[in-house]
Amino acid sequence: MEKVRKIVKHVIGTIGPTVKPSFLIVGGQKCGTTALHYYLNQHPLLLGSRPKEVNFFSNEKLYKKGLGWYKKAFINMRNPFGSIQSFEATPEYLYYTDAARRIFDFNPRMKIIILLREPIQRAYSAWNMYKYFGERKQGLPKQFYDGQENNIFHELYSHRDSFPTFEEAVYADIMKWNKLSSLQEPSFVRRGIYYPQVKRFYEMFGKENVKIIGFKDLTGANRRSTLNSILEFLNLETSTWNFLNDNKRNSRKYESPMQDVTKKSLEEFFDSYNQQLFQLINFKPNW
Range of the domain at 276: 2-248+266-281
pTM: 0.86
- Does position 265 have pLDDT exceeding 60, yes or no? yes
- Does position 268 have pLDDT exceeding 70, yes or no? yes
Is 184 inside a domain boundary? Answer: yes
Helices (H), 212-259: 215-219, 223-233
Is 147 inside a domain boundary? Answer: yes
- Does position 57 have pLDDT exceeding 70, yes or no? yes
Q: Residues 1-15: what's their mean pLDDT?
A: 49
- Does position 161 have pLDDT exceeding 70, yes or no? no
Question: DSSP of 20-66, one letter per residue?
Answer: --SEEEEE-TTSSHHHHHHHHTTSTTEEE-SSS---TTT-HHHHTT-
Radius of gyration of the chain (CA): 19
Is 160 inside a domain boundary? Answer: yes
CA distance 216 to 265: 23
- Helix (H), strand (E) at residue 124: helix 119-136
Is 220 inside a domain boundary? Answer: yes
Q: For the chain, what is the domain count? A: 1
Is 257 inside a domain boundary? Answer: no
Q: Which long-range contacts does 246-249 make (Cβ < 8 Å, 24+ apart)?
A: 246/39, 248/35, 249/34, 249/35, 249/38
281: three-class secondary structure by DSSP:
helix
pLDDT digits (tens, 9 = 90+) for 163-214: 788 998 898 888 888 877 666 777 899 999 999 999 999 999 999 999 999 9
Q: Which residues pair with 46 in a beta bridge?
A: 85
* Weakest mean pLDDT among 20-34, 87-101, 198-212, 245-259: 245-259
Q: Which residues pair with 213 in a beta bridge?
A: 115
The pLDDT mean for the chain works out to 86
- Does position 281 have pLDDT exceeding 90, yes or no? yes
pLDDT digits (tens, 9 = 90+) for 39-49: 999 999 999 99
Predicted confidence at residue 136, as pLDDT, reads 66
Higher pLDDT, 5 or 121: 121
Is 286 inside a domain boundary? Answer: no
Q: In this structure, what DSSP letter does residue 235 have?
A: T
CATH number for the domain that contains residue 216:
3.40.50.300
Residue 55 · residue 143 · CB < 8 Å? yes
Tell me the one-letter amino acid at 205: F
- Helix (H), strand (E) at residue 113: strand 111-116
